[in-house]
Amino acid sequence: MLSTIFTFLRTSLVPSKRALRLRLAPLHAYMGATFVLALLITVLDFIVIRPDFFIPMWLFLHGFAILFFYLIWVAIMALYVQLFTRVYSKNMWAYRQAWPYTVSMTFVPTIILVALYHMNSSLMWIGVLFGLGYITYPLTKVPQKKQRRASS
């Protein structure tokens, strides 16, 4: 199970045609990877923010909030993936395929988004644009169905 999660994470680091296969990933792969991302961002925020709150409680609440907002971000991006595949390839992916793909392709943009937020919150739009590009690039590699010519 851990090897599947690490393979999922490793494959999702580079937007390529190979990443398109992640849309068929098993549930434990993308949910485990989501948990890893939430932990990573929570630790990053803990280092930057240095809360003076009860640390275990802060880590738990902040991790839960990060997970909640990350899942909202993924849900919106999964709808974008469905729209893009519908327009680009005329064959819309089912949400059950768009979700794992979107989870995999939002890891790097989300970390960049959080880093930009910590540097200067007005730069977050750059992270959103980067995320859209990061998600969209592999989708342009989706094989197109060949149009059959009508015989006359």
Residue 103 is assigned to a structural domain of this protein: yes
Residue 146 is assigned to a structural domain of this protein: no
Mean pLDDT estimate for the chain: 85
Q: State the maximum Cα–Cα separation within the chain, in Å, rounded to a whole number.
A: 78
Q: Residue 117 and residue 119: Cα distance in Å, rounded? A: 5
Stretch 100-106: mean pLDDT = 87
Residue 145 is assigned to a structural domain of this protein: no
How many separate domains does the chain show? Answer: 1
What the block records as the tokens of 39 is: 């932990």
Token pair 């999922």 is at which residue? 8
Residue 18 is assigned to a structural domain of this protein: yes
Q: Looking at the predicted structure, is the pLDDT value of residue 152 above 80?
A: no
- Closest-CA residue to 116 (of 126, 131, 130, 101): 126
Residue 144 is assigned to a structural domain of this protein: no
Residue 149 is assigned to a structural domain of this protein: no
Residue 69 is assigned to a structural domain of this protein: yes
Residue 8 is assigned to a structural domain of this protein: yes
What the block records as the tokens of 126 is: 């750059």
60 vs 15 pLDDT, higher one: 60
70 vs 1 pLDDT, higher one: 70
Q: What's the pTM value of the predicted model, to 2 decimals?
A: 0.81
C-beta separation of 92 from 86 below 8 A? yes
C-beta separation of 25 from 8 below 8 A? yes
Q: Looking at the predicted structure, is the pLDDT value of residue 72 above 90?
A: yes
Q: What domain range is 69 assigned to?
A: 2-139
Token pair 């990443």 is at which residue? 19
